[in-house]
Chains A and B, each alone.
Chain A
Amino acid sequence: MRAGPILAVVLFVSQGLTAPGAFAQSKSDPTRTTLDVPRQAVVMGDDIARTDWSTRLAHPSNEGQFEVLVRKSATQIQAPDCKSDYLLIRMPASVSIGSDPATQAAVARKRQYFDQLLAAYDKGESLHAEVFAGPYGKRGPGGALLLTQCNLFFVEPASPH
């Protein structure tokens, strides 16, 4: 049962990186999943300061990164080595060397997405989002998502073009 109306988020992205540590977030990423978390299990924005987490990404960085906490117990995700009560969902950064309009547009979409999430949060709505674990997770034998740490990542909001 959801605590309230959900925030529907339009996602899906195709960003290819080939650098060491690059990540996949395509539909074929086996760690990709949909999260539906009641509002009372979500912490974001200035409220993160009231938890035991310390972050400089409570609000979007210049690269569009931000972080949202969700109570581990409110999800089906297994994270036995995560010592916190919370899982951390981070929006990946958009970075370019030198000025790049496409990167700037991606950052703007991420900021807009954060604003949508925060507005829904302030209205008491549940969090509904596509996430992936990338190198920090795998599927267990029964298909359950198993994290190596506490980290999840938002699938980036797609370009409208």
Chain B
Amino acid sequence: MDAVVFQTTIVKPVLVAMGNWTEASEMLLMGTAAQESQLIYTHQIGGPALGYFQMEPATHDDCWTNYLNFRASLRAKVLAIRTASGPPQATDMETDPKYAAAMARVRYMRVPASIPTSPRDIAAYWKLYYNTPLGAGTVSGFIASWNKLLTPHPYAPIS
């Protein structure tokens, strides 16, 4: 998907609907999607992760069980973003990019540290809290994906 289209039709509207838009949170989700899926893949090759943000089903389910189900207002907003009916399923993230974006934002909401504002620090934030120190991703990989897919629009390159 084109980065500007992804920004303007998926990420920003979802963050606004969640009452949670900031430039930093938008850049965080855009960078996460660029790195995790190259804005192409919605099913991990050789792994369980789903959607543009490549969230694993266990993480999706944990967000519901241990976070969203204790936050009625946020829960309602996420359910309103989701297009499918019935109990939320991890597989919804594969076919519903707005729901996938909402769940990615929820995952970051569980991080106590605030989102940094510089793109380079956002790359480190993704590595620490989304990919995690155990994950195979690297900060330099995030920056490479950012520079390849998110520049010159909607963002400037990370030097």
Q: Is the interface of A mostly helix, strand, loop or mixed?
A: loop
List 21 A-B residue pairs with CB atoms under 8 Å apart, sorted by A's residue number: A19-B111, A19-B112, A19-B113, A19-B128, A19-B129, A19-B132, A20-B111, A56-B136, A57-B136, A61-B138, A62-B140, A65-B138, A92-B133, A93-B135, A93-B138, A94-B133, A95-B127, A95-B133, A96-B124, A97-B116, A97-B125
The DSSP consensus for interface residues of chain B is helix
A residues engaging B (CB < 8 A)?
A: 17-23, 55-57, 61-63, 65, 67, 90, 92-98, 134-135, 151, 153
CA distance A96 to B129 in the complex (A): 11
Q: Does A56 lie within 8 Å of B141, measured CB to CB?
A: yes
Q: Which residues of chain B have a CB within 8 Å of any CB of chain A? A: 59, 62, 107, 110-113, 116, 121, 124-125, 127-130, 132-136, 138-141
Indicate if the CB atoms of B132 and A22 lie closer than 8 Å.
Answer: yes
Considering the complex of A and B, which 6 residue pairs feature the smallest CB-CB distances, nearest first? A21-B132, A92-B133, A93-B133, A61-B138, A19-B129, A97-B124
Interface centre among A19, A23, A56 (most CB of B within 10 A): A19
Report Cα–Cα, A19/B134, bound state, in Å: 12
Picked from B125, B134, B136, the residue with its CB within 8 Å of the CB of A21 is: B134
